[in-house]
Amino acid sequence: MKKIIWMASLFLFLLILGCSQDDNGASNQDISEPVDYSNPEGKIVWSSGSLSGLGLRQELIEGFEEKYPNVEVELQEAPSTTNQSQTYYTTTIGGQSEKPDIYSGDSNWPAQFGNANIALDLSEIMPDEFWDRFPDTLVDSVTYEGGIYGAPFYDNIGVLYYRKDILEEEGLEVPSTWEELQDMSIELKEKGLVDYGFVWQGASYEGLTTNFLEYLHAANGEVLDENEEVNINTRETEKALSFMQELVNGGATPSAVATFHEDEATTTFSSGSAAFLRNWMSYYGQLKDPEMSAMSENIGISALPAFEGGERHTTQSGWNVFINPNTQNLEASLAFMDYLTGEEAQRIMLEGHDMIPTNTAVTEDPELIDEYEILEIYQEAITTPRPKTPNYNALSEGIYMNVNEMIVENNDVQDILDTMEDQMKSANDSGL
């Protein structure tokens, strides 16, 4: 039954993606030189999720409209989840809709959206100096087959949150290895100091893939080889999966983690029920807010651990801004994209909302690094983007469905690996 559901999902995504392409797969904006967007006017629609904290999007819009009084930006609320947003833009923009003009989306979309003509190729449209504001790694993350299909908006990485009060009372250091974290979680739980040791995102959705990738990279494994072929059935993957399974079987992590998304894991931790939490750095502001977190005064943040003898790795999962290839107001859309990624807006996101900017003028400012702990951790992290391929969604589904089943059913790791490999190779070979 699982295979039937998986193949049906794969077919549906292929159908949606195929319908989103025009006959020649070329952008509707056939522009081969930089566009002058210095004096924009008119109205544009920006579609975006909630970002971090209420009011941030409106604050950014007001800052832009003050700078460009002849432009009005209408905010369109995006669907509540990343997968729903992706489907919405695929069907809406793929159906040749002119709206939204500009939209925010996940960092793993450029290859898929560029391939499907859902995001405008900016490589010729924006001047070369525009891209100098971003780290090379982020520019590379929005580049696919020579095109640049988005501008990095904010960055995000997986981090470890911990209860400072408990660790201080017990005389414990923040765990630097996964093995230490596992042992410490069990110890604190058995002492009755918390209900749970370590919580994370284990539900059957893309968030579980990002957790899995952190263990996989810490074990020196990869999803794809240098030829972009699936290379998942390895000793490194077995190590990652076995450790995830042991977290639950050994009691460091509750079995309920198999139902946890970001919010459920965060709520469990912020209520005081857990000692450790793996979540995105973008949740830092929420966890430190006394109105949203009962443990706000006792929250610590650290880079994710490593396996013994290895290096600390984290999944990079920020968001970009994309331009609709069908927009009828390209100049205003580009001006807004330029503002959102410029120093003024990026400082607002950091200083008021604890979000990681993509503009190096902000992230590499020594004074800001001293002031903001999250910037220091960000500078030290070994960040790894998710696999850059138009097939990512199908590959991710092959991961999270099987890893979740392993957690729930306590299946044999090698059996899970074999099934995962078959499904991921099928997805990769389908050419989505």
pLDDT, average across residues 194-203: 98
- Cα angle value 279/10/118 (rounded, 5°): 75
CA distance 317 to 201: 14
CA distance 99 to 89: 10
pLDDT, average across residues 10-31: 46
pLDDT band at 431 (very low <50, low <70, confident <90, very high): low
pLDDT tens-place string over residues 201-232? 999 999 999 999 999 999 999 999 988 899 99
Asked whether the predicted pLDDT for residue 255 surpasses 80, the reply is yes
The pLDDT assigned to 54 comes to 63
pLDDT, average across residues 79-90: 88
pLDDT, average across residues 171-197: 98
CA distance 75 to 336: 12
Asked whether the predicted pLDDT for residue 7 surpasses 80, the reply is no
Asked whether the predicted pLDDT for residue 341 surpasses 80, the reply is yes
Instruction: Say if CB 357 and CB 364 are below 8 A apart.
Output: no
The pLDDT assigned to 18 comes to 46
pLDDT tens-place string over residues 353-364? 889 999 999 999
Span of 12-16, 114-118, 140-144, 347-351 with lowest mean pLDDT:
12-16
Q: Percent of the chain beyond pLDDT 90?
A: 79
pLDDT tens-place string over residues 129-148? 999 999 998 999 999 999 99
pLDDT tens-place string over residues 378-391? 988 888 888 888 88
Asked whether the predicted pLDDT for residue 23 surpasses 50, the reply is no
Asked whether the predicted pLDDT for residue 63 surpasses 50, the reply is yes
